[in-house]
Chains A and B, each alone.
Chain A
Amino acid sequence: EPEVTQTPSHQVTQMGQEVILRCVPISNHLYFYWYRQILGQKVEFLVSFYNNEISEKSEIFDDQFSVERPDGSNFTLKIRSTKLEDSAMYFCASSEPTQGSGNTIYFGEGSWLTVV
């Protein structure tokens, strides 16, 4: 069964450093997402991406965050200058080409980011 894959599974970085989290969405999907989950808390929406541009972003997704689809398969989340509060599990997700309310989004296994 096709799946969303993410790398790295775990990264430890120093405060102020740049981090890039990588994702390979399911191949025929056209909508891509990043969510995050701070330990023990709810899953929070960060950003959605379609047709090579951001379609929606949350208030969490400020200027230190950016997303990119550098080629036909990868979808990346960059955090420019990490803060301690960025420590979280970051989930990439993708969904099918149609934008109906019933569309399921499929999640990767997550990238656990620890900022020290």
Chain B
Amino acid sequence: GNSVTQMEGPVTLSEEAFLTINCTYTATGYPSLFWYVQYPGEGLQLLLKATKADDKGSNKGFEATYRKETTSFHLEKGSVQVSDSAVYFCALRGVTTSGTYKYIFGTGTRLKVLA
């Protein structure tokens, strides 16, 4: 079945450091891939998405490229800020064995940025 694996946290970085959060997936067909962010005490917000191979999603300085050959969708940011401290969830939306579409989430990676 479909699944998402993302790196365990927490990830602790200093402000202005480079961020990578790894995400790999297994899926049948051609899923769409997403990163959601959850700030403390808040719900899930869509950060970026990519719907086909080689697409790059970007938002707020974050980027992720849909790599079909490595089944990956790693999240990157060149210079993190304290305000980026949150939990980041990788997700895919793909077809299930019953023919419906469903979102599958990774376990989340907590990022803490220190001033």
Contact = CB atoms under 8 A, between A and B. Distances in A.
B89 A43 contact: yes
B96 A104 contact: no
Contacts, number: 61
Contact-residue bracket for chain B: 20 to 34
A109 B45 CA distance: 9
Nearest to A109: B43
B95 interface: yes
A103 interface: yes
A70 interface: no
Given A45-B103, A109-B42, A110-B43, A101 B94 contact: yes
B44 A42 contact: no
B108 A42 contact: yes
A44 B107 CA distance: 9
A109 B36 CA distance: 13
A91 B101 contact: no
Nearest to A55: B100
A88 B28 CA distance: 30
Contact of B46 (A41, A106, A110): A106
B51 interface: yes
A102 interface: yes
Interface string B88-111: 010101111010111111111000
A108 B43 contact: yes
Interface string A105-116: 111111000000
B96 to A, nearest CB: 7
Contact of B101 (A41, A101, A106, A109): A101
Nearest to A41: B107
A76 interface: no
A42 B101 CA distance: 19
B41 to A, nearest CB: 9
B73 interface: no
8 contacts: A42-B106, A45-B102, A56-B102, A91-B44, A100-B101, A101-B94, A102-B93, A109-B43
Interface of B: 29-32, 34, 36, 42-46, 49, 51, 89, 91, 93-96, 98, 100-108
